[in-house]
Amino acid sequence: MATIERDVSLLQRRRVAPIYIVYGSAVQIQLNMIDYTIPENATVEFFAQCGSGPVYRCDGSAIGNSAVFTPPEGFFRQGDNALQLEINGRLIPLAIDVKCEERISGVGSEETPEQVRPLVLQAQDAAQEAGARASLSAGYAMSAGNSANAAAVSAESAGQSANAAAGSAESAAESANLANESETAAAESARVAQEAMEQTTATVVKTPYIGDNGNWYVYNYDTKAYADSGIRATGSQGPQGPQGKTGDPATLVSYVVEYLAGDSGTSVPSGSWSTTVPSVPQGQYLWTRVTQTYNTGSPVVSHSVSRMGVDGSGSVSSVAGVSPDSNGNVTLTAENVGARPDNWMPTAADLGALPSSGGTMTGPIAMGGNKVTGLGTPTDGTDAATKSYVDNTAMIAMAENLLDNSDFTSFIAQAGIGGKHGNQQYAGDRWILDSGTVTGDRSWMYCSFRNVCLNGTIRQILAAAPNTVTIGIEMVSGTAEISYMDGAVTITSNGGIIAHAWCYPGNYDGHPIPLYRAKGYAAELSVCKQYYQGNLAACTVGKVYGSTNGMITITLPRMRVVPTIEIKSILSQGWGDVRIDQLTPGWTNESESMIGQNYELSGDHVGKTIIVLFAASADL
């Protein structure tokens, strides 16, 4: 089976070359990890998504430091597929696209290139001729014809397709010629043609297999299913031969026991063996050799060894000045060996060792490559920590709440509760009020109110929406439900007061959920102002001389898109009539910092101080 390999760098997250496959092909994909070590016995899962379609998963395996899998039919959809990897439940971000294309439906169809179609038909005719002349080679020749068809599809250009198809036709024709000479030669030619085609079309050929009934099953690309070819994979079993003659049983002809003294209990001594037991000095070894000879085969030789004991007489004269008694025993007291007469026991400090609990090292310890195991959860900054604790802490530290305006005890509602940004009805900036009402302990504030009470449904469309998230909500009182679908987080409650909500990318089933951290009022306000700025004032002094017009420019900080400006009111100091009309639509420096928008003043008097109150909306 062909294998497509890609080297993957997880730290640099470089985008690698896309993978091209044909829809329904069984080709193995191998991702080699450059700067990440796959744990032993790790579980590997692959995920694919084509556009905004459903996510498909497939089990893989870890081979060394590579993640490998063979996608089943339908795992990749036609078009551009995003490929993702999960190891031991941990999402490994990738930057790989898999481009999946459909093969042509059959030989001679309208989808077959005009200049390739005759060569493809020629290859198929040659393969059928070989099958008619030899039953065994027919199955392989048919596979060669299918391979030629597949080669015509998978070639990068029409010229390459023609060359591949012509080569396939020649191999199939050769198979037919050899089939005329002998069945064996025809089968070999068909096998060579099959191998040549598989090397050319390794990514699109469906390999035949042997079914339970013993026949070859060949993939039909029109029906997209395997079919019984009716060709037996192996011949029937021949009759059993006659039983052989029972041999004569082995009989013992001779049995010889011999002895030899030696000075080693592990090495067989050299010398002349004797059938009588020799005299062996104390502490030496007596070796025994047994030789058994049968009426057939080589003699069987075995050895055994024993040591001659020592009587011990005169071995002990005294111990610490104490002579043995009549039985040879020596009785010693603490005084004889210079020990203390009481029950004193040495401590770890007396021996220069650390106690089993407590103690302080005075120098470094070299572990020599060994592990320190059984660590508890660290509490102080200098405590040692386990790998799982460090991994979980690192994941929590990297997690970022995807929700804006998530702290409901310091809510931002620049347009007021139930205010509008464009055509949307909002509960607060970044939260759309789908139904019901949202109230607080203040009816309206410029940028915040506290203790949000929800009696309905609010929703936030995420700026960046991953496939998998972990969501949650904390209440001051009452209950609420939170859900995630199609890139949006929805909260529904019947009179509950919300404290805060969170939405973290990824799945935290195997890890503790990160603690909620408010982004802070200034950071939340900055984000919300990218979508809406309400009741902001711009002022200038306009001098209007009869029909001569003045100019006023409304300036704003950068917003997410070019906003819609709504003039709320015009205040003027002085007397006379003043009007304001948009002069230049769009921003004066739209491609850079979006610094402002120009408006025209007109009137019939001089010396006006103009104050314009407006709102800017850059809604989703």
Q: What is the pLDDT of residue 276?
A: 92
Q: What is the pLDDT of residue 418?
A: 80
Determine the Cα–Cα distance for residues 458 and 426; give it in Å rounded to an integer: 8
Alpha helices in 93-157 (DSSP H): 117-133, 135-154
3-class DSSP state of 147: helix
CA distances from 398 to 314, 473, 496 (A): 80, 20, 31
Burial class for 293, CB neighbours closer than 10 Å (0-12, 13-18, 19+): middle
pTM of this structure: 0.37
Q: What is the pLDDT of residue 551?
A: 59
End-to-end Cα spacing for the chain = 49
Strand-pair partners of 437: 455
- What is the mean pLDDT, run by run of 10 residues, along the chain of 620 residues? 81 77 83 87 90 88 91 88 88 83 50 42 48 42 42 40 44 46 49 48 60 84 83 75 81 92 92 92 92 90 90 71 79 74 70 75 84 84 75 60 90 82 85 90 59 92 89 94 95 94 87 83 87 64 48 69 75 56 45 50 53 76
To 5 degrees, how large is the angle CA 353–CA 359–CA 361?
75
Q: What is the pLDDT of residue 456?
A: 95
Q: C-alpha dihedral over 618, 462, 478, 418, to 10 degrees? A: 10
Determine the Cα–Cα distance for residues 196 and 168; give it in Å rounded to an integer: 8
DSSP secondary structure, 157-192, as one string:
SHHHHHHHHHHHHHHHHHHHHHHHH-HHHHHHHHHH
* Structure-token pair, residue 51: 């556009």
- Burial per residue of 599-611, b for 16 or more beta-carbon CB atoms within 10 angstroms, e otherwise: bebbbeeeebebe
